[in-house]
A = this chain, B = another copy of it.
Amino acid sequence: MYHAVIMAGGTGSRLWPVSRRATPKQLLKLAGDDTMFQHSVYRMAPLMGPEQVYVVARADLISALSAQVPTLPGENYIVEPEGRGTAPAIALAAIHLLQSDPDAVMAVLTADHYIADTAAFRTTLSAAQDLALDGHLVTLGIEPLFASTGFGYIEQGSPGIPVDGLAVYDVAAFTEKPDAETAEAMLKSGNYVWNGGMFIWRAARILQEFERQMPVFHAQLMEIAATLGTPKYEDVLARVWPTVETETIDFGIMEGAEDVVVLPVEIGWSDVGSWASVFDVRPSDEDGNILLGRHESIDTANTLVYGGKRLIATIGVDNLIIVDTPDALLICRRGHEQDVKAIVSRLKAAGDETLY
C-alpha cells in the first residue's frame, strides 16, 4: 500500500519571530488560512486516506501537530525522541510501515513547503509509486525558477522511459548548495533541478540501502524494530536514539545509493524559506501589500504586515516586512530577509530561550 510520511521536525529560524522552536514554521498559517502542516496533510486526499498518512516529529511537537489535524490516527504520529537528521527519521518511519505492510511504498514529504498545483503533485506521486514498485529510489526534482544558492541540486543523467507521460531521468549526482556562479551555470545547462527533499520508494528497499551504507545505524534500528508493538518499544527507542548518528538522507544515503531516478516537477513549489517568499504564496493587494491582522495604512506599498491583534499603522513605507508577535517585533527591508537568522543567533547567544 502507498503511504505518505510527512517530516515535521524542522524549525525555520528565518521566519522568526513567528517561527520558533516551540512554534515552528509547519505550525504557522504562512500561505493561507490553513497551516503549512495542514496543507501538507490535506493535499494528499484523494490520493490516499488519512490512515495512510504518517507524521514524524519531535516529541514536543506532537500535541500541537495532532491538534491541527485530528483526523489522522494517533498511532500515525511517529515520535523522534530528539532530532537526529532526516536519515534516522526516515528509517524509523520505514520500520513502522513495514510492521503492518511488508510491501509498503513510502512517499517522504515535507510539512513546511507550499505546493500551488496539488493535482499535478498527486499525479506525480502516482507515477512515482509505479517507479518505486519497480525498485527505483525516486526523487522529485523542482524545475528551477532562478539560480538559487539556497537549495541543493540534482543533476539529471540519462532519460528513462516516461511514466504516465512524465519524464524520468537517472540521477547523475546530488550536489550541495552552490555558489552564485555555479548556480548560474547549472540553471543555463538545463540539466539540474532543485532538491526539494521529497522521495518515494519501497520501505524495504530503502532499508537495504541503510544496511549497506549506514550499517552501524542499521543495527541500532533493528534493535528498535525488534520491539515494535511491544511494551518495550518506547524504552528501547529512548535509550538507543540518542546514540545514533546524526545524518541527512542526502549525504547518508542518496549520494551513494543505486538506481536513483528523478522526476522533474512543475507544481508551484515554494519552501517558504524566508519572509520574502510569503509574497510568492499569498496574493497581494493593488499596492503590492499583504496586510494580515488589524492595520491602518497611508502611502504603503510592497509591504508585508504579518500581525496579530494589535493595531499596526504604517505611513510612507515600502518594501518592508513587518512581523508582530506578543513579545517580539521584526521590521526588515525586503532583500535583507536572510539576516533574520543572525538576530536569532544573537538571541540564542544571549540565552533568551522564550524568544527563539
Contact = CB atoms under 8 A, between A and B. Distances in A.
Main secondary structure of the interface of A (DSSP, over half): strand
A233 to B, nearest CB: 42
B329 A312 contact: yes
A333 interface: yes
A342 B298 contact: yes
Contacts of A340: 313, 315
Interface stretch (A76-84, A212-220, A236-244, A319-327): A319-327
Interface in A284-340: 296, 298-299, 310-317, 320, 322, 324, 326-333, 335-336, 339-340
A343 interface: yes
B332 A317 contact: yes
B331 A313 contact: yes
Contact of A299 (B328, B330, B336): B336
A355 interface: yes
Nearest to A299: B336
Given A296-B343, A299-B339, A332 B310 contact: no
A329 B310 CA distance: 7
A311 B331 contact: no
A270 B316 CA distance: 24
